[in-house]
Every structure is written in structure tokens, then in C-alpha cells.
């Protein structure tokens, strides 16, 4: 089976397609050539076609061409009318394709991922709304643009190959047809579990686990709130307001920590918190899947309820191989374990997806409610012996005075485990720096003895969570120098001015901004970037002639500064791989120094402001 990477560009009178054969490295280009593309398709109908958003866009576009439709009608059907491409015509399904979609996150465009990789994110200057055939120059420009996107798709596929490997592992393990590569993960899980959709009308007939014991009257209020029909809604419209209001749940103090319980989960955490001591994480093992199995809350659309239970058992075996297992075998076992985890987690998420065969909202809501009440049960029992620092969907973080109290909390937790039939995993650490429940750094103090017999303490961040401090990845690399600088400042005490001297690569300073769907174009330094431009690579500028970046509505009545961007900005959408800060003389390094310091201060003090807009 050969692998073909593909992308389409569609206009009113023109369409273009670029295909790259991964094995032969050959490039194929088609312009309004239905017969040529169809002959290529027939030759490669059994091969694998890969694209970014191919499931939603490129596949139905190609099928529509073969079916004799003008592809611009299908393009508008998908983009403007926001309808699934496969629904345009049944005829299109007579041209099957084996596909794999590299768009893992529906909220991220290909241009955003290209920006994270440091690639060029220049858009085509050709207007997709042209009411005439393209000129030769426009055709060439569009082919160049399309080719770049196919090459970028290959780059994202390589970076995200473990996702592809997960599909292959599951398809092989459960003896599924190769066409399942084209399914979403949730659809694949439904296929593995043999789910058949059944229509029901009992969404809010919640099933509460009989093992839950709550004694505190305030805590019982949470359970009562969830069982009250007046509160059983997710979103609703009020008056003439076009935007729905979300149900914000109920908030109560849990161990003096204001905690919110809602239909999406539980969350609370100390704000502006920095302390050292004995910290313990109590994480519920495979929280939601375990609740589904323990309390018979799997989707009722699954005929054979033993499938998920067997997957859980098998995953545990792969996750913890014998000590004498060879490293190569361990690696394969880990990959299989990670793949089976997708089945377990997906089995819950899909219960709330109306388009999935696992859809069973009663079970979905019941799992979420029980998860929160079970944690509240645990918190109630341990809170006399500790300080609760954080409560989230699948665990609790506590601080104890001494090792004896930690032992007491663990003994109480084991009683909870025996009663509820859930499992807990423990982890300790020495220091927590926390802005809020969504941004924190856990630190372990590594101790060593120097040659003089003196104890040396080296603080090591063992977990970083949140948009302000998370570790960068090839596909999520935005303002990374600031994130690393905050961690270095808070954990090691390294001053921002000194820290950034060690960061010379331009990509570390990039700010990725997006236009958003509410605006038509972007304006900067007197230049209007047409509506094709949706993603921008931005740097702070020390040149006073460089102004702010604005997003503008089509009629010009709405003009707003692009959020979290400097007042003096540089737009630099070219390829920056291998470039250093010296290649951009006007970059304002002091902006990043100030931003590191201001954001770091907000972790420990309820003062200061985010300087990203200055």
C-alpha cells in the first residue's frame, strides 16, 4: 500500500489538487482535470490517502468532482453552510477512499500547526471568492501555496506519527478493516466495542453509586443539587440573547477551598499559592472508565459489556511488564497500552456525542456525577488530617504536616478504595507553586552531598500544567521563552534578564495570533491582510513605527486589537527554522523579560498585570 498526501484548493471556476507520493517522492498536480485525477484515483484506489482535514473537506471535494458536481458547491456546503460533506449527495459514496486525517485537534488549523513548527505561514494572495477564472499567474501562485500545504501536512504527520500508530495497533488488534483509519477516535472506539445506536428519552434519570457516603450537610447539598430537575440542563437561551447560558453548577467550600461541581466535572484550587512541605497526589486510576465498569454505567448501546472490562485488564498487563522484559518489547507494550487507553477514555467521551453510536447521555451524566461525588466522599474523610490544595476531575492534591499524617490519609483512602471498588495511585512532591487550578508547577527537591559533606538541594519541576508554564511541543510552540522563563524564575530563581541570554532561537519568541471568525481581515502598519490570512506569527518590536495589530469586521464598524499581542508588533510569516534573534534586529527582548516577570508575579501574588498587551 502506497501513501499519498493530498490537498485541494477550490474556486468558483477552478480547482487544483496536489498529491505527493510518500514512497516515490513524486509530485502530481491537477487543474480542472477531472479525467486525469480520476485515472490517478483508479490506479491508487487501494492506497492510503492522507490529508489535513481530509475527512471533512478534501475527500468529499474529490468525490464530488468524480460525481459530476461543481466542487465549489460542495466547498460552500462544508465551509459556509457548515454541513457534513458526505451529506451533499449519496452518489459521492460510490467513489470510496481509504483515508487518514492528520487533523488531531479540530480547533487548530493547518496554518497554526505550521506556525508552531516554524514553517512559512504565508497565505495565497488569490481571493477564493473571485467571480472569474484564474489567470496563469494566479494558477501558479495557488499551486505553490497548495504544494506548501501538502509538504506541511507531511511534516505534521511525521510529528504526530504516534497517533497514526495507535490507529494501526487498534485496527490490527481488533481485526478491523483498513478503512477504519478514516474514522475519528471516538468512531473507532464505537466500532471496537460493537456499539449500535438506540434512541432513548431518559437523559436525566441519573444513577447514583450506592457506595457513596456523604455525612456533611453541605456536601449532601451537591448530590441534592444534581438530582434536582431544575438544575438538569447544560445550556439554555434567555430572552432574545442569541448566545446560550451555560450551567455553572454549585460551589461550596471543601476543606475551606471553594469548589465548583458542575455537569462537566469538579474543579478547585488555591490561588497565588507557594509552599514547601509534604504533598500527596491521590489520582483515581482510569477514573471514568473504572466508574463505568464498577457501577454498570457503560453505554447501553454496547451489547457485550465484557469487552471494555477485558480491555482494561489487558491494558494493565501491557502497562506494567515484568522487570526482565527487553527494552524493545517494553516499548511495543507501552504503545499497545497507550492505544488501549484511547479505547477506555473514548468509551466515556462518546456517550455525550449525539453523532456517535455510543451516545447515551444518561450514562455519560451519571459517570460524571458519580466521579465528583466519589471524590467529595474521599475529601470528606481525609480533610480532618490534611489541607486540601486542589480538587479536580480525577484526583486530589493534599498537604500534610508530617509523615504520620500522610500514613493516616493513605489508610483512610484505602478504606475508601475497598468500599467504592475504585483504585488510587499516589505520588509525592516537595513544593507547589500555583497561580490557580489551571496553572501550576510541582517541584521535587533532589538532594545530594557535595565533597565537603554539605547537602545540596536542586529543585526539579516534575509537572507543569497550564498555558503559562506548560512544556513546548513541536505542534504547540507559542511564546515558549516566556513559559520557560517563568519556570526558571519561580523554581530556580533565575532572573529573566539572565535567562533569555540562553535563548537565541527566533522560534522561542514567536507569538501565534489568529483572526477569529468574527472578523474579516487584519490591519497592521497601514497594511490590510485580506480574509485569506487567518494565522499570524508575531514578535515584539522596539521600533516605534511598528504599531498594534487590529482585527476588522467586513463593514469596518468593529475594530479590535488582537489579544495578547504587543502594542508594537512585527508580523513575520516567513519560515524561521534555524533563524536566531539576530536575524530580526528590531525584536524587543525587553518585552519578553517584562512578560516573564509580570506573569511569574501572578503565580504568587494577587497583584500585577499581564503585560502581553503592552
Backbone phi, then psi, for 384, in 5-degree steps? -65, -15
Looking at the predicted structure, is the pLDDT value of residue 611 above 70? no
Residues 288 and 402 in one domain: yes
Dmax (CA) for the chain in angstroms is: 83
In a domain, 66, yes or no: yes
Rounded Cα–Cα distance for residues 11 and 472 (Å): 37
Residues 133 and 53 in one domain: yes
Residues 110 and 223 in one domain: no
Rounded Cα–Cα distance for residues 397 and 280 (Å): 6
Residues 432 and 488 in one domain: no
| CA distances for 93 relative to 66, 89, 176, 499, angstroms | 10, 8, 20, 57
Spell out the residues 6+ positions from residue 551 whose beta carbon is closer than 8 angstroms to its own: 515, 516, 518, 519, 521, 522, 523, 559, 560, 561, 562
> Are 81 and 95 in contact, with CB atoms under 8 Å apart?
no
pLDDT at position 60 = 97
- State the pLDDT confidence band at 241, using cuts at 50, 70 and 90: low
Rounded Cα–Cα distance for residues 3 and 22 (Å): 6
First to last CA, the chain: 53
Residue range 396-409: mean pLDDT, rounded = 96
The range of the structural domain enclosing residue 133 comes to: 3-160
Residues 225 and 116 in one domain: no
Residue range 193-201: mean pLDDT, rounded = 95
Query: In this predicted model, what pLDDT tens digit does every residue of 350-370 receive, in sequence order?
Result: 999 999 999 999 999 999 999
* Three-class DSSP labels, 370-392: HHHHHHHHHHHHHHHHCEEEEEE
Rounded Cα–Cα distance for residues 98 and 48 (Å): 5
Residues 495 and 406 in one domain: no
Last residue of a domain, one of 385, 410, 437: 437
Grid cell of 277 as nine digits: 512541605
> Are 541 and 586 in contact, with CB atoms under 8 Å apart?
yes
pLDDT at position 339 = 94
CATH number of the structural domain spanning residue 55:
3.30.420
User: Looking up cell 480532618, which residue turns up?
Assistant: 384
Number of domains in the chain: 3
Nearest residue to 543 (alpha-carbon basis) of 584, 510, 575: 584
Nearest residue to 574 (alpha-carbon basis) of 536, 546, 540: 536
> Are 540 and 564 in contact, with CB atoms under 8 Å apart?
no
pLDDT at position 409 = 98
Looking at the predicted structure, is the pLDDT value of residue 159 above 60? yes
Where is mean pLDDT largest: 33-37, 81-85, 512-516, 529-533? 33-37
pLDDT at position 607 = 54
> Are 107 and 113 in contact, with CB atoms under 8 Å apart?
no
> Are 285 and 426 in contact, with CB atoms under 8 Å apart?
no
Backbone phi, then psi, for 9, in 5-degree steps? -125, 130
- State the pLDDT confidence band at 165, using cuts at 50, 70 and 90: very high
Rounded Cα–Cα distance for residues 309 and 471 (Å): 34
Residues 413 and 286 in one domain: yes
Rounded Cα–Cα distance for residues 412 and 382 (Å): 7
> Are 527 and 494 in contact, with CB atoms under 8 Å apart?
no
In a domain, 367, yes or no: yes
pLDDT at position 12 = 95
Rounded Cα–Cα distance for residues 576 and 116 (Å): 10
Looking at the predicted structure, is the pLDDT value of residue 610 above 80? no
Last residue of a domain, one of 142, 160, 178: 160
- State the pLDDT confidence band at 463, using cuts at 50, 70 and 90: very high
Neighbours of 406 (CB within 10 A): 20
In a domain, 321, yes or no: yes
In a domain, 452, yes or no: no
Helix or strand or coil: residue 237?
coil
User: Looking up cell 510569516, which residue turns up?
Assistant: 573
| CA distances for 226 relative to 37, 221, 259, 413, angstroms | 56, 9, 15, 25
Residues 288 and 430 in one domain: yes
Rounded Cα–Cα distance for residues 287 and 347 (Å): 12
In a domain, 373, yes or no: yes
Grid cell of 523 as nine digits: 490591519
Percent of the chain whose pLDDT exceeds 70: 98
* Three-class DSSP labels, 29-45: EEECCHHHHHHHHHHCC
Helical spans, DSSP H, in 251-360: 287-294, 306-319, 327-349
In a domain, 153, yes or no: yes
Rounded Cα–Cα distance for residues 530 and 330 (Å): 51
In a domain, 424, yes or no: yes
Query: In this predicted model, what pLDDT tens digit does every residue of 434-453 receive, in sequence order?
Result: 999 899 999 999 888 877 77
> Are 196 and 357 in contact, with CB atoms under 8 Å apart?
yes
Looking at the predicted structure, is the pLDDT value of residue 465 above 90? yes
Residues 396 and 494 in one domain: no
Helix or strand or coil: residue 49?
strand
| CA distances for 554 relative to 123, 131, 294, 501, 563, angstroms | 19, 19, 54, 43, 19
Backbone phi, then psi, for 67, in 5-degree steps? -80, -5
CATH number of the structural domain spanning residue 264:
3.90.1600.10
| CA distances for 118 relative to 156, 511, 573, angstroms | 12, 11, 9
Residues 500 and 386 in one domain: no
Rounded Cα–Cα distance for residues 598 and 614 (Å): 12
* Least confident among 135-144, 215-224, 239-248, 454-463: 239-248
Identify the burial level of 162 via C-beta atoms within 10 angstroms of its C-beta, where 0-12 means exposed, 13-18 middle and 19 or more buried. exposed
| CA distances for 134 relative to 14, 344, 412, 554, angstroms | 7, 50, 73, 24
235-236/424-436 β-pairing: unpaired
User: Looking up cell 451516545, which residue turns up?
Assistant: 359
Rounded Cα–Cα distance for residues 327 and 353 (Å): 39
In a domain, 175, yes or no: no
Helix or strand or coil: residue 287?
helix
Residues 251 and 379 in one domain: yes
Last residue of a domain, one of 386, 410, 437: 437
* The model's pTM: 0.90
Looking at the predicted structure, is the pLDDT value of residue 154 above 80? yes
Query: In this predicted model, what pLDDT tens digit does every residue of 66-99 receive, in sequence order?
Result: 999 999 999 999 999 999 999 999 999 999 999 9
What does DSSP assign to residue 135?
P
Residues 344 and 279 in one domain: yes
**Radius of gyration of the chain measured on its C-alpha atoms:** 27
Amino acid at each position: 500500500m502506497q501513501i499519498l498526501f493530498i490537498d485541494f484548493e477550490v474556486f468558483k471556476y477552478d480547482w487544483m489538487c496536489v498529491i505527493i507520493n510518500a514512497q516515490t517522492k513524486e509530485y502530481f498536480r491537477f487543474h480542472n482535470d477531472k479525467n486525469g485525477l480520476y485515472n490517478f484515483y483508479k490506479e491508487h484506489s487501494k492506497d492510503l490517502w492522507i490529508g489535513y482535514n481530509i475527512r471533512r473537506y478534501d475527500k468529499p471535494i474529490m468525490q464530488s468532482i468524480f460525481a459530476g458536481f461543481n466542487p465549489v458547491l460542495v466547498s460552500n456546503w462544508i465551509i459556509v453552510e457548515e454541513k457534513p460533506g458526505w451529506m451533499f449527495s449519496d452518489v459521492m459514496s460510490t467513489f470510496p477512499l481509504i483515508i487518514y486525517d492528520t487533523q488531531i485537534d479540530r480547533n487548530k488549523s493547518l496554518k497554526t500547526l505550521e506556525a508552531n513548527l516554524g514553517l512559512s505561514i504565508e497565505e495565497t494572495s488569490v481571493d477564493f471568492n473571485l467571480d472569474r477564472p484564474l489567470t496563469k499567474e494566479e494558477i501558479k501562485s495557488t499551486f505553490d501555496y497548495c504544494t506548501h500545504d501538502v509538504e506541511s501536512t507531511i511534516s505534521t504527520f511525521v510529528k504526530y506519527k504516534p497517533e497514526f500508530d495507535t490507529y494501526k495497533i487498534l485496527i490490527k488488534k481488533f481485526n478491523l478493516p483498513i478503512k477504519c483509519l478514516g474514522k475519528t477516535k471516538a468512531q473507532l472506539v464505537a466500532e471496537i466495542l460493537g456499539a449500535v445506536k438506540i434512541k432513548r428519552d431518559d437523559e436525566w434519570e441519573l444513577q447514583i453509586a450506592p457506595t457513596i457516603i456523604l455525612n456533611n450537610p453541605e456536601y449532601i447539598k451537591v448530590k441534592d443539587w444534581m438530582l434536582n430537575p431544575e438544575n438538569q440542563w447544560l445550556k439554555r437561551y434567555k430572552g432574545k440573547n442569541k448566545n446560550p447560558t451555560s450551567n455553572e453548577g454549585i460551589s461550596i467550600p471543601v476543606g475551606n477551598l471553594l469548589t465548583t461541581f458542575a455537569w462537566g466535572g469538579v474543579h478547585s484550587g488555591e490561588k497565588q499559592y507557594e509552599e514547601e512541605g509534604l504533598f500527596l497526589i491521590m489520582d483515581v486510576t482510569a477514573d471514568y472508565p473504572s466508574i463505568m465498569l464498577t457501577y454498570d454505567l457503560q453505554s447501553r448501546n454496547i451489547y457485550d459489556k465484557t469487552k471494555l472490562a477485558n480491555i482494561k485488564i489487558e491494558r494493565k498487563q501491557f502497562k506494567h511488564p515484568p522487570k526482565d522484559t527487553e527494552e524493545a518489547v517494553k516499548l511495543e507494550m507501552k504503545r499497545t497500552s497507550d492505544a488501549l487507553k484511547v479505547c477506555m477514555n473514548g468509551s466515556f467521551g462518546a456517550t455525550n456525542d449525539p453523532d456517535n453510536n455510543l451516545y447515551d447521555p444518561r450514562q455519560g451524566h451519571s459517570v460524571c456525577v458519580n466521579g465528583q461525588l466519589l471524590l467529595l466522599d474521599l475529601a470528606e474523610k481525609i480533610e480532618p488530617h490534611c489541607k486540601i490544595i486542589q480538587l479536580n476531575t480525577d484526583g486530589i492534591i493534599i498537604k500534610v504536616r508530617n509523615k504520620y499524617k500522610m500514613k493516616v490519609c493513605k489508610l483512610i483512602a484505602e478504606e475508601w478504595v475497598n468500599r467504592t471498588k475504585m483504585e488510587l495511585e499516589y505520588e509525592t512532591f516537595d513544593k507547589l507553586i500555583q497561580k490557580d487550578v489551571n496553572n501550576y508547577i510541582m517541584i521535587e527537591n533532589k538532594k545530594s552531598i557535595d565533597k565537603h559533606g554539605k547537602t545540596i538541594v536542586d529543585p526539579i519541576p516534575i509537572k507543569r500544567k497550564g498555558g503559562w508554564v506548560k512544556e513546548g511541543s513541536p505542534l504547540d510552540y507559542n511564546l515558549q521563552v516566556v513559559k520557560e522563563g517563568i519556570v526558571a524564575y519561580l523554581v530556580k530563581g533565575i532572573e529573566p534578564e539572565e535567562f533569555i541570554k540562553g535563548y537565541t532561537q527566533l522560534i522561542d519568541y514567536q507569538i501565534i495570533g489568529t483572526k477569529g471568525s468574527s472578523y474579516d481581515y487584519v490591519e497592521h502598519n497601514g497594511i490590510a491582510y485580506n480574509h485569506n490570512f487567518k494565522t499570524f506569527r508575531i514578535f515584539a518590536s522596539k521600533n516605534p513605527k511598528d504599531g498594534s495589530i487590529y482585527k476588522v469586521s467586513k463593514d469596518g464598524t468593529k475594530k479590535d486589537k488582537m489579544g495578547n499581542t504587543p502594542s508594537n508588533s512585527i508580523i513575520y510569516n516567513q519560515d524561521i527554522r534555524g533563524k536566531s534573534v539576530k536575524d530580526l534586529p528590531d525584536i524587543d527582548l525587553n518585552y519578553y523579560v517584562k512578560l516573564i516577570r509580570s506573569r511569574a508575579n501572578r503565580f504568587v501574588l494577587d497583584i500585577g498585570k499581564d503585560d502581553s498587551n503592552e
